[in-house]
Each structure stands twice: as C-alpha cells, then as structure tokens.
Amino acid sequence: MRLRAAGLLLCVAVLAVSVLLSLSIGNQHFGAHDVYLALADFSGSDNDRVIRYLRVPRTAAGLLAGAALGLAGALMQGVTRNPLADPGILGVNAGAALAVVGAIGVLGVHSLTGYVWFAMGGALVATVVVYLVGAIGRGGATPVKLALAGAAISALLGSVTSAITLLDLSTLNEFRFWVVGSLTLATGPVIGQAVPFIAVGIVLALVLGRSLNQLALGDELARSLGTRVMLVRVMAGLAVVVLAGTATAIAGPIGFLGLAVPHVARTLVGADYRWILPWSMVLAPVVLLLADVVGRLVARPSELQVGIITAVIGAPVFIALVRRRRMAAL
C-alpha cells in the first residue's frame, strides 16, 4: 500500500511537470520564471497575456478532460468487465458530439452550461444503444461485440454530425477544430462552468472503487458480499455520462485515452480499483497534456490537435488488446 501511495505521489509530481511544460512550450517558449511572474505578478505584458489567457485555460482543459476521460474509461472497464471499454470506442463521445452539434446548429446554444446537458444526454443514449446492439445474438455483450457495435454506432452518429455541419457553415466553423479533440477553444469561463460537473463525476467515481472490486468477482458473488449490483451500475453509468459528457463538451471527442490509461494503471498497481481509479485520474491528464505539447512542436508554426496525437498513440494499444483477447479465446 505504501508503495502504491508513493507511486501515486510520483505521478502527481510528473503531472506538475506536465502542467509546467504545457504552460511553457508552444510557438512562444517561456521559462519557469516567466510562468511564475505571469501567474503571481501579472503585468499585462504580451507574454503574461499569452500565458494567463491562452496557456492557462488550455492547460486547465487538459487537466479536467484528462482526469474525466481516465476515470470514465476505468469505470466502464470495471463495471462491464470489458477490457476494451472506452468512452470513444463504445460510442459515448460520438453521442455527446452529435448532441452538442445539434444544440449548436439547431437550437442556437453556444455556452457550455447550455450544451453540456445535451452532451450528457447524447452520451447516455449512445451508451444504451451500443450495449443493446452488442447484446444481440449468442454470447450476449462480449467485449469484441461491444467494440464492433461501438464502432458501427460511432460511424453512424459521426455521419449524422457531418451532415448537420455541412448544411450550416456557422456550425461547421465552430465545430471543425473541436471535433478532432482540441484544448484550444477552452476559455476561463468555460473551465469555471465545467469544474462542478467534473467534481461531481470524480466523487461518484472514486467512491465506487470497493464495489468495482466486488463486481469483478461476478454478480452473484458480489451480491452475496452485500453489493447492490444494479445500484453500482447505475451510479457508475451516471458518473461516466457526467465525466465523458463534460470532457467532450470542453475538449471535443478525444479517443483512446480512456482505453489505454486504465490498462497502464492496472499494470502498475494491480487489479484493485481503489487504486486504479485515482491512478487513472492522474495519469490520463499527464498523457493528454504531453500529447498536446507534442502537437504544438511537430508541425510548427502550425499545430496538430491533441485528439490526433492521442489517436496515433491509442490505436496501436487498441489493436494489441483486441489481438490479445482473440488469442486468449483460441
């Protein structure tokens, strides 16, 4: 236990370094002293404005979205006992994205507090549909069937989203950078509006660690240990909807982060969800912030959006996991 706690503190230190890199590196490079002065002794200079009004919201969006997606992925894998579960792969992000685009293009909603509810509703509907489709046929909702159902539903929702944006130029302009997964559109007010939702989702997720450990033993044994299985699944589903929906609202549909990070955490700390959840919450924003920094550097003076970088990293992980599951089934 002490080793796990020490490792978690080390991860927090790595996260602090990632935050500093996110604040410092870009088209303009700043030293740690420049960052400190911009935050502690704001003078109104151009450098201070870039750090405070551009880099700080972008970094805060990475922290919030990363923590939310890491926790959402760990929760989905735990509650479904499916190692391929992820908000992106199982259609949650696509459902949230479609709902947000509908809110922007059809209803004229343009604030986070307005469309975060649409994002959560879209995430919930997509999750239910994917599960129902994946449960059809022999064997029920197996991991591979859920992944295939998620891919199919995501493609369908993505095509509808594209149709809406192509019919409305103003919606397309607002949507085109956000859709690939980007931290650049976050502002201070948006971050402030997102914090309460993320906080609620984090609390819901972290209190479920012990119950997820019992669910891993199977429903019948979990019930014999006093676990209210249906209540745990409902609470986990609610937490996933809040976390993934809010993360999608502030940063777009970022894929694979919720898939890969919980597996890394599980490798480091074992199968205990009381540790997997906080480790995923810390490691995911580390990956997201560092991916964002890489995106700023590889295409200078332009940038690659962070969703592209996480897809490049996460796709091989997904393929490896699918191959491992297929080999285990042979």
**Choice between 174 and 32, residue whose per-residue pLDDT is larger:** 32
Percent of the chain with pLDDT over 90: 27
The answer to whether 67 and 285 are in contact (CB under 8 A) is: yes
Quick: pLDDT tens for 19-78. 999 999 988 888 888 888 888 888 888 888 889 988 999 999 999 999 999 999 999 888
The answer to whether 195 and 64 are in contact (CB under 8 A) is: yes
**Domain boundaries, position 188:** 2-329
**CA 50/CA 262 separation, integer angstroms:** 34
Quick: pLDDT tens for 227-236. 888 888 889 8
The answer to whether 277 and 207 are in contact (CB under 8 A) is: no
The residue behind tokens 């030293």 is 31
CATH number for the domain spanning 22: value is 1.10.3470.10
Angle between helices 92-105 and 143-167 (to 10 degrees): 20
What global pTM score does this model have? Answer: 0.86
The answer to whether 34 and 47 are in contact (CB under 8 A) is: yes
Give the amino acid at 156.
Answer: L
Residue 79 to residues 222, 240, 321, Cα–Cα distance (Å): 12, 11, 18
Q: How many domains does the chain have?
A: 1
